[in-house]
Structure 1
Amino acid sequence: MILDTKRESEIENVIKESLRTKFKIYKPETNSMPFHYRLLGKDRMALFSFIQSLNTTFGTSIFEPVAEKLADLNFSAAQKQFVVGETISEEAQNEIQHIMNELTTGKSPDKKEEIERIRKVCNKGTMNNLKTVKVDLFVQSKNGTVHLFDLKTAKPNISNFKDFKRTLLEWAAIYLSKYPKADIYTYIAIPYNPYEPKPYERWTLKGMFDLDEELKVGKEFWDFLGGIGAYEELLNCFERAGIELRPEIDAYFAKFKQP
């Protein structure tokens, strides 16, 4: 068993309070949909609208705090919405552009090599100020190794992959400008695999990302944070929270039933 009773309770409370907060602030769409209402009922349409709204905030309201709690098990430090820094060197920006140009023209990605190229110039040239840069999740191993995660939706927009890659490289450059000797890894994290039981379609990321070094999906991500078996235990936490919340959920959406 990875999660003790105390940690399970903490994670379940994060889930329940996030959903209760959503109920308090959620305002259903006011569009009149008379055919849908008569066919499916206002309560079901309200639930559908709520789920769509919840999906847009699931990452920040649930996945990030849960990941932070889970990472406490195996890491010396864990923090969501971590401020990685506010400066980046001009030479590092230039090097990142060189890397992006090479990847665009067919060079195979090699994250370890890319990090070392950035490290060499992380404090060279003018230090440019940035708006405060935050990462979704920061964790630090007991040996000092730093891992920075950008949590994405289950099916990230393929048109934004170049931007995602640049972001990961810039995070490394910003952090290395303060800690040039740091052992650092930056990743895209996808909380679950929408294609299960089939493997995640990683080919969509191939060519821009070093898949072994820059991507963690579903079970791989959660087990990395909490240890082998954490993913399955986390699913159980969500199930127990859902069972406890079911009467509240039913009562909330019962308000939308036709009189």
Structure 2
Amino acid sequence: MNNIKNNIKTRLTIALRTKFENYKPETSYMPFHTRLLGKDRMALYSFIQSLNTNFGTSIFEPVAEELGHCHFDIIERQKEVGNIITKEAQRVIQDIMDSLESGNSKPNKNDEIAKILDVARSGETSTIKPTKIDLFLQQHNNVYLIDIKTAKPNKGGFKEFKRTLLAWVACYAYANPQANIHSLIAIPYNPYEPKPYERWTMAGMLDLDFELKVAKEFWDFIGGVGSYEIILDSFEEVGLEMRNEIDEYFKKFHLS
């Protein structure tokens, strides 16, 4: 575990330094904020906002990749799921979405996948362009297609999240009919801690037992029991080790 932790810290350090090298502060003119707080603090605020927009790609994905190497046979980031889907699978997905949106049924991922697999290679096909899989995991015949989301995803986006997960299943099954497919949403941390994550906001669209992993549940799934604590410790240690470097970086905005 020490080796894994050191590798995670290395990835974090590289990701942060890369962000420093490529970061350009927002050019929006905020004279009152700047005079009140100072250029360095405004630059830090802008940096944090910029970091938040791609935290999943630049931080969480490489950390998960490092963590998962010992537990999965294959782990890939930003993987193409395939672009062929049968028209029957598209029809089934639309029927599932219509039933969920109308409240006529509750999400049941096992049943939904079974319905899609029944028609995943039948009849005419269409070419589509689904979003890439943030994190692809394979262990023996089991594959996990994971979409990493922000801690507080927009409630209105859950319909599209669900449709993406179902489309991934259909496209991957077309090219890999023998695979045991799982698709799910991952949320790297719980912003409501120590209270439970407010899963009720997703309950109408997602099967909470099979389509959602939050915070500790997600990281321990990737790397085994205790992984969440390793991740938190790694972030804290890198922050302490790089504190002087971070302070020096933002000093230049105070002087400019």
Q: How does 1:212-231 map to 2 (within 5 A)?
A: 212-231=209-228
Letter matched to residue 33 of structure 1: M
Counterpart in the other structure of 1:135 = 133
Q: How does 1:116-135 map to 2 (within 5 A)?
A: 116-131=114-129, 133-135=131-133
Counterpart in the other structure of 1:108 = 106
Q: Does 1:188 align with 2:193?
A: no
CA RMSD of aligned residues (A): 1.3
Shift of 1:70: 0.8
Q: How does 1:61-100 map to 2 (within 5 A)?
A: 61-100=58-97
Distance across 1 between alignment mates of 2:126 and 2:255: 59
Distance across 2 between alignment mates of 1:250 and 1:73: 35
Counterpart in the other structure of 1:243 = 240
The correspondence for 1:158, drawn from 129, 145, 155, is 155
Answer whether contact 2:84 2:127 (CA < 8 A) is retained: yes
Shift of 1:32: 2.8
Q: Does 1:202 align with 2:199?
A: yes
Shift of 1:130: 2.4
Distance across 1 between alignment mates of 2:29 and 2:99: 51
Distance across 1 between alignment mates of 2:65 and 2:32: 44
Between the two proteins, the alignment pairs up a number of residues equal to 255
Shift of 1:42: 1.0
The correspondence for 2:142, drawn from 145, 148, 161, is 145
Shift of 1:127: 1.6
Gaps of 5+ in 1: none
| SS across alignment from 1:220 | helix
Distance across 2 between alignment mates of 1:100 and 1:33: 44
Letter matched to residue 120 of structure 2: C
Answer whether contact 2:100 2:204 (CA < 8 A) is retained: yes
Q: Deviations over 1:157-204 (max 9, x none)?
A: 111110000000000001111122321110000010000000000000
Q: TM-score, normalised by structure 2?
A: 0.96
Shift of 1:231: 0.2
Distance across 1 between alignment mates of 2:255 and 2:143: 54
| SS across alignment from 1:237 | helix
Answer whether contact 2:169 2:182 (CA < 8 A) is retained: yes
Distance across 2 between alignment mates of 1:184 and 1:131: 19
Letter matched to residue 89 of structure 2: A
Percentage of identical aligned residues: 57
Letter matched to residue 69 of structure 1: E
